[in-house]
């Protein structure tokens, strides 16, 4: 079972090598690694060049943002399973992809899986939030629940069937994808009870008050697009559920 792992980067010189190191340290052998660069102007391309012998596919070109770049990676991937590791994130242990593969192999009926995630401070590496997930059904999405997107692994056939990331929803494209797959199409998923990713805080959706507001607007659009009942209340519950992660 081949896992295609996609890393998207733009001007990511600060943490990219740490991301690469966590990929090189994985014990699972059948991994296809794709790196999609948005035309970086810093030292990112030099870091990629030093690691390129271990990268299966690489391109550097202008794109229409993070999710356009991820879609490019999905299109070029040849694996059975697709996962994403952001350029400033790291796997929590060398056995993450092995555990992912074993779960899919032992539960062939599932279409996807997700696990746990830690938010860490970008400078100190200290844990800021813990995202502990659980076994759930599509109905939990009506209560504001969602899996941690960086821990989500999906069969490629599902992207071919239901499409990739929407490019008209800004930083909410990942939420929209999860609603589309887990709620609208009710794909079968499994919870992998392990810490999978250490994610540095300070993403695109949290840069400013305006970006936070825009993310909420697009969250609401995603909820309506996927026809969840009472979208305003779902959005409120989604925001409130994050408080217990601190």
pLDDT tens digits along 211-237: 889 999 999 999 999 999 999 999 998
pLDDT at position 90, please? 97
pLDDT at position 210, please? 84
Q: Which residues, other chains included, contact 97 with Cβ-Cβ below 8 Å and sequence gap of 6+? A: 3, 5, 26, 27, 28, 31, 83, 91
Using alpha carbons only, how large is the chain's radius of gyration in Å?
A: 17
Q: What is the pLDDT of residues 182-220, one digit of tens each?
A: 999 999 999 999 999 999 997 554 556 888 899 999 999
Structural domains for the chain = 3-245 (3.90.550.10)
Question: Considering the chain, what percentage of its residues have pLDDT values greater than 70?
Answer: 97
pLDDT at position 120, please? 96
pLDDT at position 240, please? 82
Provide the sign of the torsion angle of the four alpha carbons 120, 210, 36, 175, taken in this order: positive
At 233, which helix (H) or strand (E)? Answer: helix 231-241
pLDDT at position 123, please? 86
Specify the pTM.
Answer: 0.94
**Beta strand 57-60 pairing with 127-131:** unpaired
Q: How far is CA 199 from CA 139, 153, 159, 190, in A?
A: 27, 16, 24, 21
Up-side HSE of residue 124: CA atoms within 13 Å toward CB?
5
The Cα–Cα gap between 156 and 75 comes to 9
The Cα–Cα gap between 148 and 167 comes to 20
Stretches in the chain below the pLDDT threshold 70:
203-208, 246
Q: What is the DSSP letter of 140?
A: G
pLDDT at position 207, please? 58
């Amino acid at each position: 079972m081949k896992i295609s792992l996609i890393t998207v980067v733009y001007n990511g010189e600060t943490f990219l090598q740490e991301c690469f190191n966590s990929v090189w340290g994985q014990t699972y052998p059948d991994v296809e690694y794709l790196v999609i660069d948005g035309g970086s102007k810093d030292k990112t391309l030099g870091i990629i060049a030093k690691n390129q012998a271990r990268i299966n596919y690489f391109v550097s070109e202008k794109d229409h943002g993070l999710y356009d770049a991820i879609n490019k990676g999905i299109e070029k991937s040849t694996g059975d399973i697709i996962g994403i590791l952001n350029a400033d994130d790291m796997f929590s242990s060398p056995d993450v992809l092995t555990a992912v593969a074993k779960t899919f192999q032992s539960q062939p009926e599932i279409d996807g899986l997700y696990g746990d995630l830690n938010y860490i401070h970008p400078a100190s590496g200290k844990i800021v939030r813990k995202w502990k997930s659980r076994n759930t059904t599509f109905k939990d999405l009506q209560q504001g629940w969602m899996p941690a997107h960086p821990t989500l692994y999906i069969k490629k056939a599902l992207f071919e069937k239901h499409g990739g990331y929407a490019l008209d929803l800004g930083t909410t494209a990942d939420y929209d994808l999860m609603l589309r797959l887990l709620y609208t199409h009710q794909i079968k998923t499994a919870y992998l009870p392990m810490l999978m990713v250490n994610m540095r805080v300070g993403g695109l959706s949290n840069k400013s008050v305006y970006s936070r507001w825009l993310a909420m607007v697009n969250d609401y659009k995603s909820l309506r697009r996927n026809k969840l009942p009472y979208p305003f209340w779902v959005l409120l519950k989604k925001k409130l559920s994050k408080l217990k992660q601190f």
